[in-house]
Structure 1
């Protein structure tokens, strides 16, 4: 550690005070700040031991936020994997939402395109592409595009 510079764990805690980070994301931020990889990894381990850093909490918060934005499970999984969150933690974070994805896809379609069910193939394909870009699964897209909205 350089003289006159705050410890990596203190800087990491300051970052975590603003928002949650995944372990990998925090290590990358610390390395960009000029800390060595070993210092960053040690700081992350120390913060995780004190429960200030938690991939489980980060994943749950990220899932809630992305669901509120109308995103589907495929996109959420890809984003969390890119942030270094393990598959087991992702599955646990998505578990409370399981079973509601078709309804969420229908709500996202209705919010964007209105209540009218698409009549022609071109409009159905356009709406399906929209939902696919949002990260919904094929079966959820079929439900949302084909379902009669009451």
Structure 2
């Protein structure tokens, strides 16, 4: 007896639910995901949105899916790549991490943002401070694109 599955025939609800949970667990095993991001990825796989929502609620209740953990992981990985808090906030907003959670993750991070801005500037342009205004402006624009605010920029160029 073969267990071929016809693409047109929907899975029974418990099999669908099991498939959604397995796929979600596989994705979470690779890296943290925001709940909204995981819901979107699962919906792209033609899973029933209602069942996806139910499975994600179960994963959250089980502690396997967490917006807080995702925000912490994003802050940590982005800071390690030399990305500042302004850009990190902008990257977390589209995956529906709320502002309070973002601010908590940034505050809990042990990153010295001023020191990171200086480190990123020195890595890109060398340790010496810029000699003239056009050079300094170029370096400041670079740091702004990386997500550092004016206070951090000023700290990076403080002698």
**TM-score relative to the length of structure 1:** 0.91
Residue 72 of structure 2 contacts residue 109 of structure 2 at CA under 8 Å; is this kept in 1? no
Change (3 A) 1:72 1:35: same
Which residue of the partner structure matches residue 42 of structure 2? 30
Alignment of 1:99-110 (within 5 A): 100-110=112-122
**Residue number in structure 1 paired with 2:6:** none
**Which residue is equivalent to 2:76?**
64
CA contact (8 A) 1:74 1:135 kept: yes
Q: CA deviation at 1:36?
A: 2.1
1:43 to partner: Cα distance: 1.4
CA shift at 1:98, angstroms? 7.1
Question: In structure 1, what is the Cα distance between the partners aligned to 2:10 and 2:111?
Answer: 52
Does residue 137 of the first structure (1) align with residue 149 of the second (2)? yes
1:26 is displaced (CA, Å) by 0.4
Greater Cα radius of gyration, structure 1 or 2: 2
Query: Which residue of structure 2 lines up, in the alignment, with residue 19 of structure 1?
Result: 31
User: What SS does the aligned partner of 2:10 have?
Assistant: coil
How many positions carry a matched residue from both structures? 147
Distance 2:80 2:126 in 1: 18
Residues 9, 46 of structure 1: 8 Å contact kept: no
Alignment of 1:41-56 (within 5 A): 41-56=53-68
Q: Contact conserved, 1:56 with 1:89, CA < 8 A, in 2? A: yes
Displaced runs of 4+ in structure 1, greater than 4 A?
none
- SS where residue 107 of structure 2 aligns? helix
